[in-house]
Structure 1
Amino acid sequence: MNKIISLPFINRSFLKKTTLFLFFMSLTLNAQIDRIEPPFWYAGMKNPELQILFYGKDIAQYQVSVSNGIKITNVKRTENPNYIFVTIDTKKVSSTDLLFTFKNNNKEAFTQKYSLKKRRENSAQRKSFDSSDMMYLLMPDRFANGNRNNDSGEITTEKYNRELPGGRHGGDIEGIIKNLDYISSLGATTIWSTPLCEDNDAAFSYHTYGQSDVYKIDPRYGTNEDYVRLASEMHKKDMKLVMDYVTNHWGIEHWMIKDLPTREWINQFENYTQTNHKRTVVHDINASKIDTETCLKGWFVPSMPDLNLSNPLALKYLIQNAIWWIEYANLDGLRVDTYNYSDPKGIAKWTKSITDEYPRFNIVGEITMRDQAQLSYWQKDSPIGKIQNFNSSLPTVMDFILTDALQSIFNEDEGTWERGMMRVYDNFANDFLYPNVNNLLIFAENHDTKRINQIYGNDIRKYKMAMAILATVRGIPQLYYGSEIGMAGDQNLGDADIRKDFPGGWEGDENNAFIKEGRTPGQNEYFDYTSKLFNWRKTKSAIHFGKMTHYIPENNVYAYFRYNNSDTVMVLMNNSNETRTINTHRFKENIKDFKTGKDVVSELTFDITNEIIIEPKSVLILELKK
């Protein structure tokens, strides 16, 4: 791509096809209207102002009025005559059908029905995920194919091709629903699925981060109703659903990119400009304007146009789209992709608008900073952000510093001042920088990182130590699908290798890892440890919200305690290649008058009054008893 100043206007045949999905909403579009977004709304929202996008050929020429005594507070037209943005005040309106009238020269031209629906009871007070939860991250295309009939979509370009590592493999929402019991059996309480909205790119669309319609589930995954059913089935099992949301960019095939409402809807340069990825420019008082502009306005890749959150129309559109999905699908949380690539003020307004509407709602942002102060800057009420009068309103950030440590330390057999378990100790030593350490998403890997089982050569001892840390330190642990059965993958071969199909998710798979009988002995060893550990964690408030005391590692052995007024857990981790005898007198301030500790995995009891012998490359998680 060379120049992107004037993207092409209407592709009518494409739009006609993609509007067919609106039938499920009981919304009949007038012949002069191709799109209405949001397609419907909800009465009784805290913010009563609703911005409705009407799209159709030359629709801006019409004057608009609405029934039921509703007040139109703003009508916005842009340089593109095919759009009109109408803002109404819904403050005193209950659920009802409204009728919009479009006139030209005071003559009635056509009308359009619009629905305000009733919200679920106590919708605004929904409880989100927190540090008592364990989150299971999956990529739906690679998890399980529950419905072979939707493997290829009629209006989607890329078709099913499981032989192609980076192709569409057919996993879908039905596959997730059919395997909820498996996920729950791991001790997981929450599912974060990578995006499910339509991505109509011609190739490598399986990750679905280049979305082409943000009000529609990709037909290769299922339907909007299937997504609602997924949330419903999860709630029956006391599980929570987190949507992966993208505020920074859309896909080049998005219907609105093909006919921009306004040039300012996306960020554009005279020639194609890619982001420099240097997000430190946001808080760097010495940063140049060109570096800052390139970072925040440059495109992620040529196929992902960069959304302009400083544009009020685009920002309002994205706020309402997120709230619509929360209400419609009854969501329990959001994970926001490339959170700090967007305009800082814009993304902060987006976040605050959602958390104002849902005070108990959690949003986790992908902030790939490798410095605690820089990471803290992006968490809600950060003292670091306050220095620059900035508050992101973002409740949860992702602890990539801990991830980096977990992807290296277990190959560092000799502990030094900067290697081995000292890396983990030093990370927690900086927890004072965070306004809420419990609201950190902690993980050993995800869909963008190296696989830990690959890094550690499927040495299950090292896997167990990594999981033990995730299960016992502060924050919200996240497990990446397949790790619990030993799945590996070499990122040097491409991202598709770290995003392989889950064995047993497809008819004819020889290895069905979803059931005990179908797993190999090695897979069961991984699974059994993971399941026992995280099911135990579900019961431990001292882990969820308790305090932590840790001790400087010695000889690559790290000891820490998690505790509250009623419970104390001691974690002892030997990352060396030698058996260690640990004198427990050093830990007297936490051991107090406890006499024994029962390991939560082996169920063996240890005398903790004098010495503990711990095997090489192993961990003990001890519930202390008097």
Structure 2
Amino acid sequence: MNLKGYNKKSKIVKAVTLLLLLFSLNTIAQIQRVEPPFWYAGMHNPELQILFYGKNIAENEVTVSNGISIKSIQKTENPNYLFITIDTKGIAAQEIVFSFSKNKKVIFTKKYTLKQRKENSASRKSYDASDMIYLIMPDRFANGNPKNDSQKSLAETANRNNPSGRHGGDIEGIIQNLDYIQELGATALWPTPLCEDNDPQGSYHGYGQSDVYKIDPRYGTNEDYLKLTAELHKRDMKLIMDYVTNHWGAKHWMLNDLPTYDWIHQFPGYAQTNYRMATQFDTNASKIDAKMCMDGWFVKSMPDLNQSNPLVLNYLIQNAIWWIEYADLDGFRVDTYSYNDKIGISKWTKAITDEYPNFNIVGEVWMHDQAQMAYWQKDSKLGAIQNYNSYLPSVMDFTLHNATSVAFNENQADWDKGLMRIYDNFTNDFLYPNPNNILTFVENHDTQRFNEIYKKDFKKYQMAMALIATVRGIPQLYYGSEIAMAGNKNEGDGAIRLDFPGGWNGDSNNAFTQKGRTAEQQQFFDFTSKLFQWRKTNEAVHFGKMTHYIPENNVYVYFRYTDSKTVMVVVNNNLTSSAVNPKRFQENIKDFKLGKDVLSGKAVDLNYEFTIEAQSVLLLELE
């Protein structure tokens, strides 16, 4: 053995290893962030803009391997950012390499992956009126992994005694209870935001995000989120991401070193929105009022993103598309939709639906007038008056929510009260381009609890849920309603976001199981499950037409029907039983002789007058 030669080779290997190590360390020092972290080949829009972040990274020249074309390299006033746009048209899934040079000498490189898309990804089916959406606040639903309740890297630690604090619910807790959600009749799941929110307090709701490419470690990992999607899809259920376009949290990593001064709206610094969303289309609105609605911050801890900046807008578009591809998502719910820059948000929405033509997006348009809500739905004639199209497929029916919040306490027939409020809501459906694609609900995570308003009155709960299940649109159920959960919003948001009983080890009441439920919880659960399991089977209440009749004596009758199925719904909001004469409804009853009540199984003879009990509902499948 030639020891001299061996030692020489050994020294060379060590030297090369050292150089590679230094090269690697230099890359790490130079590049702290790459977003999107990877991308996909074969996208509808072949242009990909990659954000590279690192100390003085803009001082470098950049090239890319494999003959891929760089469309543009954009530098900003902050030398720590580079925005590099490449053309991926016709490029197969592969690993490419970006080379960063000074004086024509490569200083460091960065590998970047273009992944293979899932088959038929672009044509994925989304949620629609055949679904029932179950809304949960993950932190308050179930704690499947107590080990992740607090994280050293994040400010707020778990404290279940604090109504506004972190309680420890997580993705594993959701997965462990998917059978429960499925038993309810839900076909889609909407968790409030799961991305990292590093606010020092009140971070449990997730709307002040600090990293939009990362699941909050207190909920789990990105891989756990993928597991949630996979488990839902095994059950033929869908996952809806709660997406926030209007703002980030004050602890978002970019806020420490903004790419551009106008990445967020500055006045300079903070100024709060006036919350007057009507200024977005009010022809009489002053410019300053419209500006303060769109550009003002939602709250002081949520800096307002400037979607009129093309870099910001493109960042948000690509982040949304990345999550759809990566997590195999089935839809979005978009927070505070009508506070966004209206031109920017329409471009964002169109970019996503251009990429995924069947993808449903429901926007939170919290307004109290149907015309103002309908303005925001895709292809609205009201928007067209101002040459505006939001491209937003769905909006939330807040006026129906408003009506259900008071109607069932108004037991006397009146011109505009009681069930007339419900009837009047649907008289304005002509304003919506697509009334079947509207989200219907009696409560959500921001409103007063339905069972608080009505003091857990089971009869009123039955009427309201039956209504939501059978009118046009996509019904949404807020977690806990089905077990009579209440809580007074006037005591703080924590009161309407209570922990689901049984979601934590040691809970004395486990409402996830029949054995663990109280008699009251079981009564509410059994009804809810029966109602929404039935709903899954009846296409008439999914996409059928609707005919309703002016309420008489606080009794409301309407029909949902297709060519092959008809459902007759009778709601009696009186404190006494009421007689119903079928002759008035002959145009919909036609030749049907019997109606079988979905809830009781009893048959109603439609040839004769029948009686409906006080404060009750009949769901009649006509035969």
Deviation at 1:514, TM superposition (A): 0.4
Q: Which whole-Å CA distance do the structure 1 matches of 2:166 and 2:276 have between them?
A: 32
Q: Is the 8 A contact 1:99 1:114 kept in 2?
A: yes
Q: Which whole-Å CA distance do the structure 2 matches of 1:271 and 1:232 have between them?
A: 42
Residue 55 of structure 2: aligned partner:
57
Matched, 1:454 2:428: no
Q: Is the 8 A contact 1:43 1:90 kept in 2?
A: yes
- SS of the counterpart of 1:209? coil
Deviation at 1:271, TM superposition (A): 5.6
Q: Which whole-Å CA distance do the structure 1 matches of 2:268 and 2:197 have between them?
A: 27
Residue 73 of structure 1: aligned partner:
71
Q: Which amino acid in the other structure matches residue 209 of structure 1?
A: Y
Q: Which whole-Å CA distance do the structure 1 matches of 2:305 and 2:348 have between them?
A: 13
Matched, 1:372 2:347: no
1:247-266 alignment, distance < 5 Å: 247-266=245-264
CA-to-aligned-CA distance 1:145-169 (integer Å, 9 cap, x gap)? 0001101012010001011111100
Q: Which amino acid in the other structure matches residue 446 of structure 1?
A: N
Alignment equivalent of 2:442, drawn from 424, 433, 444? 444
Deviation at 1:245, TM superposition (A): 0.3
1:193-208 alignment, distance < 5 Å: 193-208=191-206
Residue 127 of structure 1: aligned partner:
125
Q: Which whole-Å CA distance do the structure 1 matches of 2:112 and 2:437 have between them?
A: 39
CA-to-aligned-CA distance 1:81-127 (integer Å, 9 cap, x gap)? 10010000000111100100001121211111000000000000100
Q: Which amino acid in the other structure matches residue 128 of structure 2?
A: D
Q: Which amino acid in the other structure matches residue 347 of structure 1?
A: I
Q: Which whole-Å CA distance do the structure 2 matches of 1:314 and 1:240 have between them?
A: 29
Q: Which whole-Å CA distance do the structure 2 matches of 1:564 and 1:175 have between them?
A: 40
Q: Which whole-Å CA distance do the structure 2 matches of 1:193 and 1:270 have between them?
A: 34
Residue 395 of structure 2: aligned partner:
397
Q: Which whole-Å CA distance do the structure 2 matches of 1:283 and 1:164 have between them?
A: 41
Residue 189 of structure 1: aligned partner:
187
CA-to-aligned-CA distance 1:357-398 (integer Å, 9 cap, x gap)? 001110110001111111111000111111111010000100
Q: Which amino acid in the other structure matches residue 187 of structure 1?
A: G
Residue 19 of structure 1: aligned partner:
none
Q: Which whole-Å CA distance do the structure 2 matches of 1:404 and 1:302 have between them?
A: 28
- SS of the counterpart of 2:456? coil
Residue 345 of structure 2: aligned partner:
347
Residue 514 of structure 1: aligned partner:
512
Deviation at 1:29, TM superposition (A): 6.0
- Give the greater-gyration-radius structure (CA): 2
Q: Is the 8 A contact 1:30 1:110 kept in 2?
A: no
Q: Is the 8 A contact 1:410 1:462 kept in 2?
A: yes
Deviation at 1:584, TM superposition (A): 1.4
Matched, 1:425 2:442: no
Q: Which amino acid in the other structure matches residue 115 of structure 2?
A: K
Residue 495 of structure 2: aligned partner:
497
CA-to-aligned-CA distance 1:261-280 (integer Å, 9 cap, x gap)? 00110011136310000011
Q: Which whole-Å CA distance do the structure 2 matches of 1:569 and 1:110 have between them?
A: 68
Residue 600 of structure 2: aligned partner:
602
Alignment equivalent of 1:523, drawn from 515, 521, 524? 521
1:470-481 alignment, distance < 5 Å: 470-481=468-479
1:29-68 alignment, distance < 5 Å: 30-68=28-66
- SS of the counterpart of 1:565? coil
Q: Is the 8 A contact 2:483 2:524 kept in 1?
A: yes
Alignment equivalent of 1:231, drawn from 210, 215, 229? 229
Alignment equivalent of 2:545, drawn from 524, 544, 547? 547
Q: Which whole-Å CA distance do the structure 2 matches of 1:428 and 1:562 have between them?
A: 13
Q: Which whole-Å CA distance do the structure 1 matches of 2:248 and 2:531 have between them?
A: 39
- SS of the counterpart of 2:436? coil
CA-to-aligned-CA distance 1:509-542 (integer Å, 9 cap, x gap)? 1100001111011100000000000000001111
Matched, 1:243 2:232: no
- SS of the counterpart of 1:518? coil
CA-to-aligned-CA distance 1:483-512 (integer Å, 9 cap, x gap)? 000000000100000000000000001100
Q: Which whole-Å CA distance do the structure 2 matches of 1:592 and 1:111 have between them?
A: 74
Q: Which amino acid in the other structure matches residue 610 of structure 2?
A: I
The normalised TM-score by structure 1 is 0.95
| Runs of 4+ with >6 A deviation | none
- SS of the counterpart of 2:579? strand
- SS of the counterpart of 1:293? helix
Deviation at 1:601, TM superposition (A): 0.8
Alignment equivalent of 2:380, drawn from 382, 389, 402? 382
- SS of the counterpart of 1:517? coil
Q: Which whole-Å CA distance do the structure 2 matches of 1:111 and 1:272 have between them?
A: 39
Q: Is the 8 A contact 2:548 2:557 kept in 1?
A: yes
CA-to-aligned-CA distance 1:390-421 (integer Å, 9 cap, x gap)? 01000010000000011110001112111000
Residue 272 of structure 1: aligned partner:
270
Deviation at 1:582, TM superposition (A): 1.3
Deviation at 1:30, TM superposition (A): 3.2
Q: Is the 8 A contact 1:29 1:35 kept in 2?
A: no
Deviation at 1:31, TM superposition (A): 2.7
Deviates more, 1:583-592 or 1:194-203: 583-592
Q: Which whole-Å CA distance do the structure 2 matches of 1:46 and 1:594 have between them?
A: 50
Residue 149 of structure 2: aligned partner:
151
Residue 568 of structure 1: aligned partner:
566
Q: Is the 8 A contact 2:395 2:439 kept in 1?
A: yes
Deviates more, 1:130-139 or 1:575-584: 575-584
Alignment equivalent of 1:170, drawn from 168, 171, 182? 168
Q: Is the 8 A contact 2:263 2:309 kept in 1?
A: yes
Q: Which whole-Å CA distance do the structure 1 matches of 2:413 and 2:374 have between them?
A: 28
Q: Is the 8 A contact 1:53 1:83 kept in 2?
A: yes
Deviation at 1:592, TM superposition (A): 1.0
Q: Is the 8 A contact 2:270 2:303 kept in 1?
A: no
Matched, 1:310 2:308: yes
- SS of the counterpart of 1:97? strand
The normalised TM-score by structure 2 is 0.95
Alignment equivalent of 1:338, drawn from 336, 339, 354? 336
Q: Which whole-Å CA distance do the structure 2 matches of 1:375 and 1:100 have between them?
A: 46
Q: Which amino acid in the other structure matches residue 430 of structure 1?
A: N
Q: Which whole-Å CA distance do the structure 2 matches of 1:299 and 1:224 have between them?
A: 29
Q: Is the 8 A contact 2:29 2:55 kept in 1?
A: no
- SS of the counterpart of 1:368? coil
- SS of the counterpart of 1:124? coil
Q: Which whole-Å CA distance do the structure 2 matches of 1:271 and 1:74 have between them?
A: 31
Matched, 1:285 2:289: no
Q: Is the 8 A contact 2:27 2:109 kept in 1?
A: no
Q: Is the 8 A contact 2:379 2:433 kept in 1?
A: yes
Q: Is the 8 A contact 2:337 2:364 kept in 1?
A: yes
Structure 1 regions of 5+ residues with no counterpart?
Answer: 1-27
Q: Which whole-Å CA distance do the structure 1 matches of 2:381 and 2:287 have between them?
A: 25
Q: Which amino acid in the other structure matches residue 203 of structure 2?
A: S
Q: Which whole-Å CA distance do the structure 1 matches of 2:448 and 2:339 have between them?
A: 22
Q: Which whole-Å CA distance do the structure 1 matches of 2:267 and 2:367 have between them?
A: 26
Matched, 1:586 2:584: yes
